[in-house]
Amino acid sequence: MSAESTAALLEVHDLRRSYGRGANRFDALKGVSLRVEPGESLAIVGKSGSGKSTLMHLLALLDQPDQGALSVGGVDAATLSSRELSRLRNETFGFVFQQFFLNPNASVLENVILPLKIAGVGRRERRARGMAVLDQLEMADKAKSKAVSLSGGQKQRAVIARALVNNPKLIFADEPTGNLDTVTGRLVEDILFRLNRESGITLIVVTHDTELAARCDRQIHISDGREVLPELIGAFA
């Protein structure tokens, strides 16, 4: 097969991102390189302000680097048009954030199928695929309920269902259990890692939670916009 079949799902080299100008300039990311293979789970670990969320936004094509190269499946993201980038995000990636970003007055099913609506999928197929992922997450009985009526754990499961509805290759989870109690958070973690293990979905978790990070295949630690080598992590604690 082509070289693309052996390409990393994501590969970045020397990513840099700054905000502001002059005396107000802030260097959020100062040259990070990494490779993410299909089917692996990766934790991006760091304290608030370390640059880990900036890195995730660049990896997820939600922002553009000032410098550096980023490829998805061997395709250089810099060569893609805005429309192609949007389609790639919608069809290849799923997103699970700490904030749920659900429309509170829409039904659970309506929230879940939103990516399919954006992609132009027909109504009948949207409903079938939406119900299938809700059933997978034991949420089918809540399909007609308004999102505002759900518990925190149910809202996060609805968000995971929305992330899954387009059959993504990769899920980005940014502090996915940050708004949940310990028990509910653990259940949400279990769902994400089961999807990684059983469905082969690549998982990138952004977190400051060392226990959550330890469940991933590997971790990269970000401090002051740079990756910290494992033997130096203690120096930045």
> For the segment 49-102, what is each residue's pLDDT rounded down to a tens digit?
899 999 999 999 999 999 999 999 999 999 999 999 998 888 899 999 878 889
Q: Residue 229 carries which DSSP code?
A: P
Provide, rounded to the nearest whole percent, the portion of the chain with pLDDT above 70. 94
Domains of the chain from N-terminus onward: 40-62+78-236 (3.40.50.300)
Residue 5 has pLDDT above 80, yes or no: no
C-alpha 15/C-alpha 17 separation (Å) is: 7
Per-residue confidence (pLDDT) for residue 6, from 0 to 100? 67
> What does the pLDDT look like over 154-202, one tens digit per residue?
999 999 999 999 999 999 999 988 888 899 999 999 999 999 999 999 9
Q: Residue 33 carries which DSSP code?
A: E
In 3D space, the residue among 157, 162, 163, 189 whose CA is nearest the CA of residue 175 turns out to be 189
How many Cα atoms are found within 13 Å in the side-chain-facing hemisphere of 41?
Answer: 20
State pTM to two decimals: 0.88
Per-residue confidence (pLDDT) for residue 62, from 0 to 100? 92
Residues in the chain: 237
Residue type, 205: V
Residue 30 has pLDDT above 90, yes or no: yes
C-alpha 194/C-alpha 132 separation (Å) is: 17
In 3D space, the residue among 92, 45, 43 whose CA is nearest the CA of residue 233 turns out to be 45
Structure token digits, residue 183: 């028990």
**Residues 13, 33: contact at Cβ < 8 Å?**
yes
Residue 116 has pLDDT above 70, yes or no: yes
Count Cβ neighbours within 10 Å for each residue of 75-100 and write b for 16 or more, e otherwise: eebeeeeeeebeebbeebbbbbbbeb
Average pLDDT over residues 213-224: 95
Instruction: Output the CA torsion 216→95→37→180 (10° steps).
Output: 0
**Residues 108, 64: contact at Cβ < 8 Å?**
no
pLDDT band at 230 (very low <50, low <70, confident <90, very high): low
